[in-house]
Amino acid sequence: MAIRAVLLGVDISPFVTSWGRLEQIKDILLTQATFLTTEMTIQLSNINGFLNPKGAGSLVAGLDHYNGSIEIFKDEKSVYQGLVQDILPNTTTKTVSIVSENVLRKAAETDVNAQATAANPALAMLDFARLAIPESAILASTFEQAASGSAEAGATINYDFKEGDNITIMQAIQLVSDISSISVFVKDNKVIARPFIPFQGNEAGLKFEINDAIAREWGPLSYDNSSFNNRVSVGFPTDQFFTLTDEESVRRNGGDPRKFEFPADEKVVATNLTSAQFFARIYLRRAAKRRRKLTLAGGRELNGSVIGDRFPVTVPDLGLNRFPMEAIEVNQTLDSDEIELGLAEIFAD
């Protein structure tokens, strides 16, 4: 396994003493990726002071290194492209830490000023992303594909972000993601969109089986008792709501509904009743059931896994036989082939 790092166009791999960790995390309930601006830190030997920001002969002396480029390659494949946030020398240990964040950082720092009515949610998020992120770092086709479901249903949103609201582009994307059930995250250094797709059963859409031959270590199997809602109200103009309840889920879970509301006076709202009905239905299809969770550590077979990937999972000791689960967390230490997955149960309609 060959791994190298390039800072401001210079290969700094020989000096790296501790590589960073790539993390993707998604909330078990809401479909959005909470992995929106991932931070990574690598540590280098700095005995000769080549990375002291003010040192003579330093690589970064006299340069504004903020938002400078850093790229990590693993077996000559680019696995991370980041923007430098800080370079922190430690004079005691003679090391230096480079702190960087991925391409979504700019979207988290830039306020949005945009208004529209009857907009497709996926295409609205694409428009927001383009305000701060280079086109080369956006996989626009995934947003266009994600737009098809709501387009077919005639479901749209109104949004109203004004100058002075102090809402960043990333926050705007998050609000649209919440109501539309479309995740936005980074894969292979590209910002992509992935809509929630209900599991159809019969292993439809599942990847390869994860079993004892792939997993080196299994974590506990447990229920998530907090991350589910079985009643949702979706607001739309003017101050109206459409409310939908999963009655079976209410009965199974004590008889008292667990409610979530998308307010009618939010910065992002459903355009009309038809839109509110669509967004409510898709929300309950992903949120109305209590899920079981499982963690595992595996090797190269899991390389390339991203949040939202679905697998049949077999663990005889836990009573699981080709049990359908979805990745909600993917963690990888760059100088190791070990990958950690967090999985959550998925249900057929």
pLDDT score recorded for residue 306: 82
pLDDT score recorded for residue 32: 41
Which tokens sit at 330? 């993917």
pLDDT score recorded for residue 19: 87
pLDDT score recorded for residue 35: 43
pLDDT score recorded for residue 88: 86
Low-confidence ranges of the chain (pLDDT < 50): 30-36, 62
Neighbour count for residue 347 (Cβ, 10 Å): 14
Spans of all domains in the chain: 3-26+39-101, 107-195, 215-224+291-345, 231-287
Of residues 39, 270, 324, the one with CA closest to residue 159: 270
Strand partners, 269: 158
pLDDT tens digits along 280-311: 999 999 889 888 999 999 998 998 888 889 99
Instruction: Classify 306 as helix, strand or coil.
Output: coil
The C-alpha atoms of residue 332 and residue 74 are separated, in whole angstroms, by: 12
HSE-CB for 131 with a 13 A CA cutoff: 19
pLDDT score recorded for residue 27: 57
